[in-house]
Amino acid sequence: MKRVAFVLKLSGWRGEVEFTVDEVVENLGLRPLVEGGWGRPMAGADAAARGEAVGAYRLLTPEAPDDWRATEAEELWTAYMGAALQVELATETGVRRETLAAGSGQWVTVPAGGWLRTRALGGWCLAGRIGQAQGDGLS
């Protein structure tokens, strides 16, 4: 399993810590997703009614399928750790690609009514999604 380093800051201390995919899955309690990769709802998402805003972790790997899916409601995406996250948005005006460096704190907004595809670039990526609850909150 390939190890990916990320920089960790704790109370002024700066060092590198490496995690494998298996360690991230275990530490965050992620579960396999039907569409590939791993994920889980963040706190409170399990109790959210359909249509309420919820957060979810998504662990994307290069092996996971990166199929397009329709976006029924606005979504926000970020990359927490690992490789960069590429978010592709397809709307009537064309396709836009955004690349988010892990840990940068940047978010990309995905409008409702378009198509979305996410993938990890150069390794695995722990991503975050905020959007409407749909079933288990991971859609």
Q: For residue 137, is it within any domain?
A: no
Q: For residue 84, is it within any domain?
A: yes
Q: For residue 14, is it within any domain?
A: yes
Is residue 88 predicted with pLDDT exceeding 70?
yes
pLDDT for 93-119, tens place per residue?
999 999 999 999 999 999 999 999 999
Using pLDDT thresholds of 50, 70 and 90, give the confidence band for residue 24: very high
CA distances to 25, 51, 54, 62 from 135, rounded to whole Å, are 21, 10, 11, 26
Q: For residue 49, is it within any domain?
A: yes
Q: For residue 138, is it within any domain?
A: no
Q: For residue 91, is it within any domain?
A: yes
CA dihedral for 90, 93, 85, 126, sign (positive or negative) = negative
Of 74, 82, 18, 24, give the one whose Cα is nearest residue 51: 74
pLDDT at 41: 86
pLDDT at 99: 97
Q: For residue 10, is it within any domain?
A: yes
pLDDT at 82: 93
Q: For residue 92, is it within any domain?
A: yes
Domain count, the chain: 1
Under a CB-based contact definition with an 8 Å cutoff, are residues 106 and 8 in contact?
A: no
Q: Give the CATH number of the domain where residue 115 resides.
A: 2.60.120.10
Largest CA distance in the chain: 47
pLDDT for 55-80, tens place per residue?
899 999 988 888 899 988 899 999 99
Query: Which residues span the domain enclosing 65?
Result: 4-132
